[in-house]
Amino acid sequence: MTGLPLIALVGNPNAGKSALFNALTGARQKLGNYPGVTVERKAGRLSLSDGRPIELVDLPGTYSLSPTSPDEQVTRDVILGRQQGERLPDALVVVVDASNLDNHLRFALELIGLGLPTVVALNMVDLATRDGLELDAAVLSRELGVPVISTVAVRKRGLDHLRAELESLLDGSGGMVRASAEQRDFDGLRREARRIARAAIVRETPSRRLTAAVDRVALHPVAGLILLLALLFVMFQAVYAWSEAPIAMIEGVFEAASNAVAAELPDGLLRSFLVDGVLNGVGSVVVFLPQILILFFFILMLEATGYMVRAAFLMDGLMARVGLSGRAFIPLLSSFACAVPGIMATRTIADPKDRLTTILIAPLMTCSARLPVYAVIIGAFIPARTVALGIGLQGLVLFCLYISGIAGAMLAALVLRRTVTKGASGGFLMEMPKYQWPRPQDILLGLWQRAVIFLKRAGTIIFTSTVILWLLLSFPKAPDNGGISQVNYSVAGRIANGLNLVLEPIGFNRDISLALIPAMAAREVAVSALATVYSLDSKEDEAKLERSLGERLKDHWPLPTALAFLAWFVFAPQCISTIAVTRRETNGWKWPLFMIGYLFVLAYAAAGLTYWTATALGLG
Amino acid sequence: MRLTDLPLRQPAYVDLIDWNALSASDGQRLREFGLCEGASVEALHHGGLLGRGPIACKVGRMTIAMRRNHAAAITVRTGPQDEAA
């Protein structure tokens, strides 16, 4: 490891620790507002005023040194020098929320008692002032026996002061153990914390608290639920409404590129590879970047403002009914963006069976990778008309798909909790952070990271699967005069024709079977795969090249097939990353295999029921 | 009265907590949230349409959410605070 001095950032959840970490190191990280967003080791470099580098590690937020979850255990073990792969920190920065001193000081006292060189960052003093609270940092410092620095991490206030204090702490720390290094029991610490907090409060004017006012609506059993549903509904409408212009732009770029390649290169393998394989395949996925970013924008905002925990509160009654912990709601909501961070976020759930159930149903939350699939099918088959005041039919269908995923997940949890993960339900105990307006930079940063991840996927997994599929589709070459289509003659076509025996009863055609194979790598590959199939199949009619994938699908698929395809993707476990992270988080293959099994069964049943119902209704 | 029966937005104090009714880890978490005999508590919101959801309450300066089975283990008392805690 590096020989740099190590400083650990430690404190209660919601003390603004991650924001302080970002402000100090300039590290590019996600900023959340609910307990549990900091799970993995986060480290960054920080230069002292004399240019000396030190390493700063951001430890998971915890309420005490008696852990109740795996990530809290990491915090305790690092601070006690017991964590494997981490050296004992040379100093601690204890972050406390200025407006919650009684509580946060208890943990601060516990930490100071360990005897490590310590500085306390009295964070979010601006929010305390907003709530009419005035504090004296000098009194606090005298009572605690360690330096106390007032900071506002999100405004970068107090950071130079903190850096200077760290510098003198490291210089003077040689073997020094604080005199106050005595251990007290929990109640003793609590009483002491309360006494010190009272001493440090200069003035407390009862003021109208923003959070309490907003919560009167946001947590109201009726109004709050309406607000939550309205927020989700606006989110899904925005995914369509705001994305039209940027999508048209991206489509234009890829079309121009295809035309340029077609004009420059003679008809042949290379041109087919570039136009049908690369540009058509990758382009058909990249085009969904605007929609994915809009979705992430909403999720990042809900997290950063502190609303996410309120949503969990509103939904807990429902979660309890299916035997889940209310805490599961946050990982599940994150899974709307992507199941991988969602499954990792389940580490904050203490009860093992609660956690396992949450992991198993997380892939049922409609992740952003499904969006390209939904978007292309909805765009092709669902007319873009308004059903009621400002409500588009397409957005409505998308909303229903999300609801189907949620309903499926609740049903799955209900069954799982009574069978494979039987046991008493865990509780719902959460702190509700104050509302906070996020910094635009943090939201933009989050969006930028998502865009990079998505484009990297498009450039690697999606590109590779698309190219392999193009190869399998292009060879062997069908005889020119045989009257047999290239797709049917190719290797991929032959595999798909075999697979189609199983999938035909639920209304899938050969092209869908073909697209589902590479889509095991990632869901959105289904779109690029279909684009490649129909691009190759339209050779004989050059004019068709100008047509969008949606238009081509409309020619080839009856409506019940399209609907069955949508239903399939609500449930199917088509994502290698999710399976890999499930294996890692459950320490073995047993649960990921179980997950794949039950989700495929659900997908098959849902697609079948949709197809048969739609056919019976005469929609074909 | 129990915390579940405390009318909304009526300041009260914790009289007694039946720690035996709580699991060890839930009890610890409640303590860490500042819940103890003598702590000021105020019920803010009842979640759930049918009154079966969790309860949001203010404990000291913190707002926390807990389920009704936890709240039922907490006996509260309205009236002047006794400073013993």
Q: Could you tell me if residue A124 is left (phi over 0), alpha (psi between -120 and 50 degrees) or otherwise beta?
A: left
Q: Which residues in A lie closer than 8 A to residue B36 (C-beta atoms)?
A: 187, 190
Residue-wise pLDDT tens digits, A80-93: 888 776 788 999 99
Chain-chain contact of A428 with B23 (C-beta, under 8 angstroms): no
Q: Is the pLDDT of residue A400 over 70?
A: yes
Q: Which residue of chain B comes nearest to A427, CA vs CA?
A: B67
pLDDT of A611 over the 90 cut: yes
Residue among A148, A143, A166 at smallest CA distance from A89 = A166
pLDDT of residue A541: 53
Measured between beta carbons, the chain A residues lying within 8 angstroms of B37 are none
Give the model confidence (pLDDT) of A370-394 as tens digits: 888 998 899 899 888 888 777 788 8
Q: Of A382 and A477, which is predicted with more confidence?
A: A382
Angle in degrees, 0-180, between the axes of helices A101-112 and B24-32, rounded to the nearest 10: 110
Q: How far apart are CA A404 and CA B12, in angstroms?
A: 43
Average pLDDT over residues B12-37: 89
Q: Strand A430-431: give its sheet, edge to edge.
A: A430-431, B62-66, B55-59, B40-46, B12-17, B74-77
Residue B85's pLDDT is 44
More confidently predicted of A575 and A546: A575
Q: Are strands A118-123 and A91-97 parallel, antiparallel or unpaired?
A: parallel
- The ipTM assigned to this model is 0.91
CB contact (8 A) between residue A316 and residue B34: no
Closest CA–CA distance from residue B55 to any residue of chain A (Å): 8
Which chain B residue has the Cα nearest residue A107?
B32
- Please, what sign has the CA dihedral across residues A80, A85, A88, A92? negative
What is the mean pLDDT of the segment spanning A35-42?
Answer: 50
* pLDDT, position A35: 37
| B70 touching chain A per CB within 8 A | yes
Q: What are phi and psi of B47, to 5 degrees?
A: -85, 165
**Mind listing the pLDDT tens digit for each residue in A418-476?**
998 887 766 788 889 888 888 787 788 778 877 887 787 667 777 787 778 778 878 78
> Distance between CA A9 and CA A35 in Å, rounded?
15
CB distance A225–B66 less than 8 Å?
no
Instruction: Give just the sign of the alpha carbon dihedral B45, B48, B50, B52.
Output: negative
Distances from the Cα of A9 to the Cα of A75, A90, A94, A446, B23, angstroms? 10, 11, 6, 22, 30
Which residue of chain A comes nearest to B84, CA vs CA?
A: A191
b/e B35-50 (16+ beta carbons within 10 angstroms → b): bbeebbbbbbbbbbee
B67: chain A residues, CB-CB within 8 Å: 316, 320, 326, 427-429
Q: Which of A394-403, A550-559, B46-55 has the lowest mean pLDDT?
A: B46-55
Per-residue confidence band for B82, with pLDDT thresholds at 50, 70 and 90: low
pLDDT (tens digit per residue) in A208-234: 577 888 898 899 888 998 998 898 888
Rounded mean pLDDT of B55-81? 88
CA-based nearest distance A103→chain B, Å? 6
pLDDT of residue A405: 93
Structure tokens belonging to residue A617 = 């209704």
Cα atoms in the 13 Å half-sphere on the side-chain side of A279? 24
Task: Check residue A547 and report its DSSP letter.
Answer: S
**For residue A570, pLDDT beyond 70:** yes
Q: CA-based angle A414:A417:A420, to the nearest 5?
A: 125
Residue A566 has pLDDT above 80, yes or no: yes
pTM of the model: 0.77
Q: Tell me whether residues B47 and A316 touch, CB distance under 8 A.
A: yes
B72 touches chain A (CB under 8 A): no
Residue found by looking up tokens 């009726």 in the block:
A222
Does the beta-carbon distance from A316 to B30 stay under 8 Å? no
Q: Are B4 and B77 in contact (CB under 8 A)?
A: no
Using an 8 Å CB-CB cutoff, list chain A residues near B45.
215-216, 219-220, 313
Structure tokens at A110: 């516990």
pLDDT band at residue A186 using 50, 70 and 90 as cut-offs: confident
- Helix, strand, coil share of chain B (percent; to 5): 20, 35, 45
pLDDT at residue number A365? 92
pLDDT > 80? residue A487: no
State yes or no: pLDDT of A288 exceeds 90. no
Kindly identify which residue of chain A lies nearest to residue B22, measuring between CA atoms: A427
Cα–Cα distances in angstroms (integers) from residue A241 to residues A338, A384, A585, in the given order: 22, 11, 37
Inter-chain residue contact A429 with B65, CB threshold 8 Å: yes
Whether residue B24 lies within 8 A of chain A, CB to CB, comes out as: no
Between A206 and A228, the more confident residue is: A228
DSSP A12-64: -TTSSHHHHHHHHH-------SSTTS--S-EEEEEE-TTS-EEEEEEPPP-SS
Q: What does A197-222 look like in DSSP terms, one character per residue?
A: HHHHEEEE-----HHHHHHHHHT-TT
- List the beta bridge partners of residue B45: B56
B81 to chain A, any CB pair closer than 8 A? The answer is: no
Picking from B3, B28, B35, B45 by the largest number of A CB atoms within 10 A of its own CB, the best residue to mutate is B45
Which DSSP letter does residue A85 get?
A: T
B64 vs A432: CB contact, 8 Å cut-off? yes
CA distance A419 to chain B (A): 23
- The residue of A429, A430, A435, A436 whose CB has the most chain B CBs within 10 angstroms, and thus the best one to mutate to test that interface, is A429
Instruction: Please give the single-letter amino acid code of residue A315.
Output: M
Per-residue pLDDT, A345: 73
Reported as a single tens digit per residue, the pLDDT across B39-53 is 899 999 988 766 578
User: Is the CB of B38 inside 8 Å of chain A's CB atoms?
Assistant: no
Q: Pick B65's closest partner by Cβ from A66, A222, A432.
A: A432
CB pairs under 8 A between A and B: 110
B33 contact residues in A (CB cutoff 8 A): 63, 103, 429, 431
Q: Is B9 an 8 Å CB contact of chain A?
A: no
CB environment B57-76: b (16+ within 10 A), e (fewer): bbbbbbbbbbbbbbbbbbbb
Length of chain B measured in residues? 85
A316 contact residues in B (CB cutoff 8 A): 47-48, 53-54, 65, 67
Of the candidates B31, B32, B53, which has its C-beta nearest A316's C-beta?
B53
**Taking a C-beta distance cutoff of 8 angstroms, is the pair A610, A564 a contact?**
yes
Per the CB < 8 Å rule, is A429 touching B46? no
**Banded model confidence at residue A179, pLDDT cuts 50, 70, 90:** very low
Place of tokens 């760290």: A166
- Please state, in angstroms and rounded to a whole number, the distance separating the CA atoms of residues A238 and A222: 24
Whether the Cβ atoms of residue A372 and residue A527 lie closer than 8 Å to each other: yes
Angle at A615 between CA A517 and CA A565, to 5 degrees: 20
CA distance readout (Å), B62 to A185, A195, A267: 22, 17, 70
Query: Per residue in A305-359, pLDDT tens?
Result: 889 889 888 888 888 888 887 778 778 877 887 787 778 778 767 778 888 999 9
